[in-house]
Amino acid sequence: MSLRSIMPRLTMLLTALALTGCGLNSVPTAEETAKARWADVQNEYQRRADLVPNLVATVKGYATQEKEVLTQVTEARAKATSIQVKAEDLGDPAKLQQFGEAQGSLSQALGRLLMVTENYPDLKSNQNFLALQSQLEGTENRISIARRDYNAAVQAYNTRIRTFPDAIGAKVFYGAKPMTPFQATAPNAQTAPTVRF
């Protein structure tokens, strides 16, 4: 075999190797993973939106003293479910902030509802209220885990599209742009709440 006959094959082999190192597969895989994690976040918020009204309806009869708090939860839930963020909106910090604020309002309303247990011990003894409290805690934990997983997927994607050699394929073939991680929007979210008895 001559060098001339080997040269086209060698060129194709080198081109294929170069392209595999440029993120042709890894960039869309990382992007889809981040989008899937965002869908998990939305799923957990939807679970909360579906679960809370049913549980609140069960407990409402026992919590007449705190009807205002339950009304706030219902209104915050309605507002939170009215704001939708789709996968193509993940690069828009304003939409994510609006979504986060609505979810933060619901979280605050739920926090006030949980404080009712401290003020009214007779509600604590009610099994329905205990079930509500347990479900709310579990739901908030699931949301927290889903947001953490989404942020990890966004970090992996953003790192991949900014580092060599995947950055080449990300820009040339996909025009990839960084995604926005989930951020706390509640005022003083970084400060632990004070509990007073």
Inform me whether the pLDDT recorded for 72 exceeds 70: yes
117 in Cβ contact with 124 (< 8 Å): yes
Question: Cα(5)–Cα(137) distance, rounded to whole angstroms?
Answer: 69
Q: Which two tokens stand for residue 15?
A: 């081109």
pLDDT at 152: 93
Residue 175 DSSP label: -
Question: Cα(117)–Cα(66) distance, rounded to whole angstroms?
Answer: 10
The reported pTM is 0.58
Mean pLDDT on 164-175? 79
Q: In 61-126, where does DSSP find H-type helix?
A: 67-82, 93-119, 121-125
Which residues lie closer than 8 Å to 40 by C-beta, 6 or more apart? 146, 149, 150
Residue predicted with more confidence, 163 or 153: 153
Question: Cα(5)–Cα(136) distance, rounded to whole angstroms?
Answer: 70
pLDDT at 197: 31
Question: Cα(53)–Cα(155) distance, rounded to whole angstroms?
Answer: 34
Q: Which of 43, 52, 50, 48 is nearest to 132 (CA)?
A: 52
Domain boundaries, the chain: 32-174
Least confident of 52-56, 94-98, 107-111, 175-179: 52-56
Calculate the alpha carbon distances from 175 to 25, 77, 123, 149 in Å. Answer: 14, 37, 56, 24
pLDDT at 195: 38
